[in-house]
């Protein structure tokens, strides 16, 4: 599968702390790839380094053959990468509809174009609350809104950080189904997900991180058959 996004020996620091230590990975076109690991392993920093929110101190971040490492976040967004942060970061004092409009970008070659009407089709409850201040939404509704706002940028790749954190099981299923639908439409997904069962169910491939490095790459089935990897790097002892 042709990679749309590649990381080549990416390093990142927080002051003197060397958080990412030569991370190399790739995401193919129309593929869901999950990045797994314990808290503090470097997963969220990897997404932020791709997005330009953390400036890499070494290595390359290549989108469709062009190195975007070190560019400002808005430039990276305009190049075709969208980001759904764990903190959601909605604009609480404006309406649901206004939050969506803020995320809109023109159609781009090689990526599907999304409309607000499609977003309401995914999540009908957002249509019902389109004129409600986003800060009044439940946690699950805020997660839906954040994903919609990211998709309205018409990305080639979407980075999603802990989308099911704190959500009720029924909402987890809705969000999971949307991630599958995103992939069906041709958008590549790089997913950080703490719930191993969710990640294994939706992913085409998985990477496992430990201490700022990739320690495993393979299919979900290969990870199921690797108890030492799960025991050493994923499961709580």
Tokens of 61: 């971040």
Per-residue model confidence as pLDDT tens digits over 70-115 = 999 999 999 999 999 999 899 999 999 999 999 999 988 888 999 9
- For the stretch 219-237, pLDDT in tens is 999 999 999 999 999 986 5
Tens place of pLDDT per residue across the chain (237 aa)? 689 999 999 999 999 999 999 999 999 999 999 999 999 999 999 999 999 999 999 999 999 999 999 999 999 999 999 999 999 899 999 999 999 999 999 988 888 999 999 999 999 999 999 999 999 999 999 999 999 999 999 999 999 999 998 888 988 999 999 999 999 999 999 999 989 999 999 999 999 999 999 999 999 999 999 999 999 999 865
CATH of the structural domain 1-30+39-79+204-237, one choice from 3.40.50.300, 3.40.1010.20, 3.90.78.10, 3.40.640.10: 3.40.50.300
Distance CA(22)–CA(168), nearest Å, equals 36
- For 1, 24, 44, 96, 167, the CA distances from 119, given in Å and listed in that order, are 28, 33, 26, 11, 19
The candidate with the shortest Cα–Cα distance to 117, out of 133, 100, 134, 94, is 100
pLDDT given at position 109 = 84
Q: Which fold has domain 87-189?
A: Rossmann fold (3.40.50)
Instruction: Supply 78's token pair.
Output: 């305009």
Name the segment(s) of the chain with CATH classification 3.40.50.300. Answer: 1-30+39-79+204-237, 87-189
- Please give the pLDDT value at position 237: 59
Which residues have a Cβ under 8 Å from the Cβ of 171 and sit 6 or more positions away?
Answer: 140, 143, 164
- Give the CA angle between residues 156, 43, 151 to the nearest 5°: 25
N- to C-terminal Cα separation, the chain: 36
């Amino acid at each position: 599968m042709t990679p749309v996004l590649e990381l080549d020996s990416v390093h990142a620091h927080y002051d003197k702390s060397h958080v990412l230590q030569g991370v190399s990975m790739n995401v193919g076109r129309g593929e869901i790839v999950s990045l797994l690991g314990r808290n503090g392993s470097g997963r969220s920093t990897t997404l932020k380094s791709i997005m330009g929110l953390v400036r890499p101190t070494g290595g390359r971040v290549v989108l469709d053959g062009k190195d975007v490492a070190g560019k400002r976040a808005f430039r990276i967004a305009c190049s075709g990468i969208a980001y759904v942060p764990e903190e959601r970061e909605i604009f609480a004092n404006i309406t649901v509809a206004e939050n969506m409009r803020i995320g809109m970008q023109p159609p781009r070659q090689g990526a599907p174009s999304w409309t607000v009407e499609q977003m309401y089709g995914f999540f009908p409850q957002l249509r019902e609350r389109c004129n409600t201040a986003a800060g009044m939404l439940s946690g699950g509704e805020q997660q839906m809104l954040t994903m919609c706002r990211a998709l309205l940028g018409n990305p080639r790749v979407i980075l999603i950080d802990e989308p099911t954190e704190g959500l009720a099981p029924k909402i987890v299923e809705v969000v999971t189904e949307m991630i599958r639908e995103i992939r069906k439409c041709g958008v590549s997904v790089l997913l950080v997900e703490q719930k191993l069962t969710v990640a294994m169910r939706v992913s085409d491939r998985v990477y496992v991180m430990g201490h700022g490095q990739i320690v495993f790459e393979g299919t979900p089935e290969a990870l199921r058959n690797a108890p030492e990897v799960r025991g050493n790097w994923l499961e709580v002892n």
